[in-house]
Structure formats: structure tokens, C-alpha cells
Amino acid sequence: MKHDRDFDPNYGAAVEILPGVRRLTVNNPGPFTFFGTNTYLLGTSRLAVVDPGPADAAHVEAILKATSGASIEAIVVSHTHVDHSPAARMLKERTGAPIVGCGVHRAARDLMENEVNPLDASGDRQYAPDQHLHESEVFSAAGLTLQTIETPGHTANHLCFALAEENLLLSADHVMSWSTSIVAPPDGSMRDYMTSIDKLLNRPEQVYLPGHGGVIHDAHSYVRDLKQHRLSREASVLRELAGAPQTIPQIVARLYADVDPALHRAAGLSVFAHLEDLAGRGLVSASPGVSLTATFSLQTS
Ligand SMILES: [Zn+2]
């Protein structure tokens, strides 16, 4: 599938995307963050700051500089990954603005016996919102109206926000232009992700502002491609198992043969997400039980 990797992070300074919508990218580039996390500044004289980013003092200063002369009325958080939410507390300390948005960090399911959460380091467990926004809830700040859309999958608490005044959706890490998003158990869930993908296709917005990378235009066609990409990945996993029972490393070695081995661990988590979903739907069985180290077979009923 085709991604858009053309992006100028313009570190340290806000870029105007539309009147009253600015993007300020954190200087935290990496294999999972692209050029860095996008913070959005919404409004003009009164502002809402969306996803202030990691605990990065220089970025907090850049936010304050870009918003000087205006009042920050709300700090909005989409999900509790360490590259999105920790600076909310730093910004609250400096401005007194409340933190609103997703609920506290949690996994999509309970840990299984002996399961070590491979994603532990990415969760911001200190995050505690002043106001937890739920499905369809409308939040007004800075003269704007944000509608909450629960979109679990990347994380269990992930939210997108529709900007009622524009044909615009803040898609955070659920839909990004530069890459597919990471869906990995136990924090994430492929079943939830696919439901959340369909949810966006049933909404009107066609322009998305993602948590990493550039603006997505013609978003529905892109989201349909993302859905197709996951469905074809699921079909290849099933095809692999049609040959013989296999472990996740065996499946990864075949399906990701042309991918940098440094990314095979992440690929394994993604295959695990598909297998967990397939097992939940009764299409695959796992021995001894569904886990990263199990052997998976097609379920013959
Ligand atoms: Zn992110």
C-alpha cells in the first residue's frame, strides 16, 4: 500500500495548516515516530493544545513560544503513549489548563499467565486526565467544538477528535499518512482496530491530521486501503497456516523476508495481533494457548 513520506518537520516552529490550526512537530524522530510527534495548536487568541508530546522541556518551551499572547484553555490527549501524553503535565503546570481526553493507560485485555507485556515501556502510567472524554462526547474549548470518537486498536484508550467547525479529524496514531499504525497485544487489539477503521468510514470527514507525518487528504480512500492491507495480511497468515502449523517467528520469516530484520520483532507483534483475532473468531487454534510463543494451526471444525 502507498504511504506519503514527504514531510518537513520544521522543528521548533509551528506550521499553519488551516486558519486556526497549527502543527508543531517534536524533535523525536525514530522508526516508530517518523520525523516526530505532531502537537496541534487549535484556535487563535484562545487555544486548545492536542497531544503535547513526550517529556521534552524544549518542546514545551516551543509550545509556549508559539502560543505566547494567547491563552491555553485545554490540553487534549488522544492516547497514553510516552511520545504523546507526558508533556501534558508539564504544560498544565505552566499554564493551569486542564488535561482532557482519553482515560488512563490500560491494556486491551488482561495479561495471560507468565505473559510479559512487551509494550510496557511505551505506556504513560502517570497520565491522569482532569476530564475523561467518552464516545460522542462533545468538548468545547477555545471557541471550538471537538467531538470524541473512541478508536481503540493502537491502544485500548485511543481517541480521535472531529473538529465540528471544519471537515477535519484529528486521527492521532489510529490513521497516519507515513505508515500503518502498530497494533500489538496486549495493549492493542486487531479486532478493535478493524472496528475503529470501519467507524471512520461511516463518518463524513475527509481530511485527517495524524499524530505523525503529514495531512491526509481524501482520507476515506486511504482508510479503505489500510483496511484492505490488514485483510490481505490476515489472508497471508491463514495461507501460511494452511501448509502446516507454525510459530510466529516462522510466519514472520516467510511473510517479512524482504523487511529489515531489525523490524521483525514489531512484525511478530503484528502477526500475533492477527492470530489473536483469528483465534477469537474460531478460525485458528493455538497450542498450548494463544501466546507469542505458541504454535498456531488452522481450526478444522
Ligand atoms: Zn505516536
pLDDT, one tens digit per residue, over 171-224 is 999 999 999 999 999 999 999 999 999 999 999 999 999 999 999 999 999 999
Dist. CA 281 → ligand 1 center (Å): 29
Q: Sheet harboring 15-18: ordered strands across?
A: 15-18, 21-25, 38-43, 46-50, 71-77, 99-101, 131-132
Residue 301's pLDDT is 67
DSSP, res 164: T
Dist. CA 267 → ligand 1 center (Å): 17
Residue 31's pLDDT is 87
Dist. CA 252 → ligand 1 center (Å): 24
What are the cell numbers at 129? 486526565
Region of 34 please: left (phi>0), alpha (psi -120 to 50) or beta. left
Dist. CA 182 → ligand 1 center (Å): 9
The pLDDT tens digits of the residues spanning 61-115 come to: 999 999 999 999 999 999 999 999 999 999 999 999 999 999 999 999 999 888 8
> Out of 9-13, 116-120, 216-220, 248-252, which region has the weakest mean confidence (pLDDT)?
116-120
> Out of 164-168, 209-213, 253-257, which region has the weakest mean confidence (pLDDT)?
164-168
Residue 262's pLDDT is 85
As beta bridge partners, residue 247 has 295
Dist. CA 297 → ligand 1 center (Å): 33
CB within 8 Å of 298: residues ≥ 6 apart = 238, 241, 242, 283, 284, 285
Dist. CA 251 → ligand 1 center (Å): 27
* Inter-residue contact 77 to 84 (CB < 8 Å): yes
Dist. CA 80 → ligand 1 center (Å): 9
The pTM assigned to this predicted structure is 0.96
Dist. CA 181 → ligand 1 center (Å): 9
Residue 118's pLDDT is 86
More confident residue, 39 or 164: 39
Dist. CA 122 → ligand 1 center (Å): 10
Q: Is the pLDDT of residue 246 over 70?
A: yes
Dist. CA 239 → ligand 1 center (Å): 32
The mean pLDDT of 250-259, rounded to a whole number, is: 94
Dist. CA 28 → ligand 1 center (Å): 10
Q: Is the pLDDT of residue 30 over 70?
A: yes
Dist. CA 79 → ligand 1 center (Å): 8
CB within 8 Å of 204: residues ≥ 6 apart = 167
Domains of the chain in sequence order = 15-226 (3.60.15.10), 227-298 (1.10.10)
* Inter-residue contact 160 to 205 (CB < 8 Å): no
* Inter-residue contact 205 to 244 (CB < 8 Å): no
Dist. CA 24 → ligand 1 center (Å): 14
Q: What rounded mean pLDDT belongs to the chain?
A: 95
The mean pLDDT of 1-9, rounded to a whole number, is: 91
Dist. CA 246 → ligand 1 center (Å): 31
Q: Is the pLDDT of residue 269 over 90?
A: yes
More confident residue, 265 or 170: 170
Residue 263's pLDDT is 86
Dist. CA 212 → ligand 1 center (Å): 6
In degrees rounded to 5, what are phi and psi of residue 180? -70, 160
